[in-house]
Amino acid sequence: MKQRLLTPGPSPVPEETLLELAKPVFYHRSAQFRQILGEVLEDLKYVYCTRNTIAPLTASGTGGMEAAVANCLAPGSKAIVAVAGKFGERWRSIAKTFGVEVVSVTVPYGQAVQPEQIEQALRQHPDAAAVCATLSETSTGIRHDIRAFGDIVSRTNALYMVDGISGLGVAECRVDDWHIDICVTGSQKALMLPPGLAFVSISDKAWQRIDQNAPTRVFYFDLRKYRDNLKNNDTPFTPAHTLVKALRVSLKMLRAEGIENVWARHARMAAACRAGVQALGLELFAAQPIDGLTVVNTPEGVDGVALVSKLEKQYGIRIAGGQDPLKGKIFRIAHMGYIDQFDVLAALSALEMVLMEMGYSLEPGTSVAAAQKVLAEQVRKG
């Protein structure tokens, strides 16, 4: 059976990029690799909309978040953390591990922290050394208003640190214009690569803080080592260099498409998917949804875990269920990276069939027709 991967990371990888990974291994301390890394970092700056340094780490995205905290925040300093789900909680856990006092701005799962809440927290804690936020809270499907947060934080001395792991390259995120001092992303989402690389952009304001701290608590994630080596387009430790070389292929695709078009493509897929599930009478879980995935409440009387399993076993459609307290209560259909509009249609088609089988009442075609109407709008318009 043909398999379709619609999980919010790892997401599918273009065939041309996969083929790059099958090429012979080369030496990383070479002019060849320095050339490749230089190109990749330039193209990443385009995706990030930044002129800041980008450090390439061989690690999961969480390693990038740890690098941000360990380098920028001294023990005993204070961080305001926007917590709307599992990944906001991760900022909090990492900060606590590194001895940072955390002020949590928490909302219930499914909601997004609002700019006024950040403003208020900063007013109450003018000594905050950082504000940490999540662009795409993949556990619940919400999007934070990263731009509005940035306007607020930029008027203070706090660093603005954003987890863009599953959001960068999905939704508009302009690191420089939006005053983002640290932006972390991972390779296995919108960048269309397997997991293994994390990237961290670092503003001048962040570098000043890092140089003041002179962090002595990290070795592998010491960003100053990366800065030194990047002068020669090199890395301090052996990088996952075949992934870097393959990333060049995926980034060229994003660059050829144009980043605004990439964002628009994700917005269109998201609108189609939302229209499709809502046409079935299903409800969205996320109050303020991100365009990389659609999170849906499991309807009453339907077993959410079985639904996800049936989609895979019977139709080859792999979506994600809810995690931890949300297990069975929601399901998550990703549409990011190399997932396209027709994959979304396939997911809706299979969803209709599985829901019918599970006794949920619906008229076949309802969701795919609703999604198709959204997709077809681009034809009428253009």
- The two beta strands, 136-137 and 142-143, are antiparallel
Q: Are 130 and 65 in contact (CB under 8 A)?
A: no
Is residue 213 involved in binding a second copy (CB under 8 A)?
no
Per CB under 8 A, which region of 59-67, 118-126, 276-284, 358-366 contacts a second copy?
59-67
Binding to a second copy (CB under 8 A) within 115-154 occurs at none
Instruction: Answer whether 326's CB lies under 8 Å from 309's CB.
Output: no
Angle in degrees, CA 121, 50, 185, rounded to 5: 70
Q: Which residues contact 261 (CB under 8 A, 6 or more apart)?
A: none
Q: From the list 97, 124, 212, 261, which residue makes contact with a second copy (rule: CB under 8 A)?
A: 97
Least distance between a second copy and beta carbon 140 (Å): 17
237 binds a second copy (CB under 8 A): yes
Q: Which amino acid is at 131?
A: V
Closer of 172 and 222 to a second copy (Cβ): 222
Q: Does 23 bind a second copy (CB under 8 A)?
A: yes
| Residue choice 47, 49, 296, 320 for contact with a second copy (CB under 8 A) | 320
In a 13 Å sphere around the CA of 101, the CA atoms on its Cβ side amount to: 7
Q: Is 231 left (phi over 0), alpha (psi -120 to 50) or beta?
A: alpha
Residue 93 in the binding site for a second copy (CB under 8 A): yes
Binding part of the chain for a second copy, among 8-16, 112-120, 290-298, 370-378 by CB under 8 A, reads 8-16
x/- map, 171-200, a second copy, by CB under 8 A: ---------------x-x-----xxx----
AA letter at 358 = M
Smallest separation, CB 292 to a second copy (Å): 15
DSSP 169-219: TTB---TTTTT-SEEEEETTSTT-S-S-EEEEEE-HHHHHHHHHH---S-S
Give the residue with the Cβ less far from a second copy, 238 or 379.
238
> Which residue lies nearer to a second copy by CB, 59 or 370?
59
Greatest Cα pair distance in the chain: 63
Question: For residues 186 and 48, is the Cβ–Cβ distance under 8 A?
Answer: no
Size of interface with a second copy, in residues (CB under 8 A): 52
Does 218 contact a second copy by CB under 8 A?
yes
d(CA 310, CA 85): 26
What's the distance, Cα to Cα, between the start and end of the chain in Å? 36
Check binding of 26 to a second copy (CB under 8 A). yes
Work out whether 220 is an interface residue with a second copy (CB under 8 A): yes
Whether the CA torsion 154, 155, 157, 158 is positive or negative: it is: negative
Contact pattern for a second copy over residues 255 through 284, marking x by CB under 8 A: ------------------------------
From 47, 80, 83, 94, residue interacting with a second copy (rule: CB under 8 A): 94
Q: Which of 214, 238, 256, 381 binds a second copy (CB under 8 A)?
A: 238
Q: Does 342 bind a second copy (CB under 8 A)?
A: no
DSSP structural state of residue 297: E
> Which residue in the set 34, 38, 60, 227 belongs to the binding site for a second copy (CB under 8 A)?
60
Please tell me whether residue 27 binds a second copy under the rule CB under 8 A. yes
Contact assessment for residue 183 and residue 164, using Cβ atoms and an 8 Å cutoff: yes
Q: Strands, DSSP E only, in 60-144?
A: 78-83, 101-106, 130-134, 136-137, 142-143
> Any contact of residue 318 with a second copy (CB under 8 A)?
yes
Q: How far is the CB of 34 from a second copy (least distance, A)?
A: 15
Residue 76 engages a second copy in binding (rule: CB under 8 A): no
Q: Quote the least distance from Cβ 359 to a second copy, whole Å.
A: 26
List residues binding a second copy (CB under 8 A).
3, 5, 7, 9-13, 18-19, 21-30, 58-63, 66, 93-94, 97-98, 186, 188, 194-196, 216-222, 237-243, 318, 320
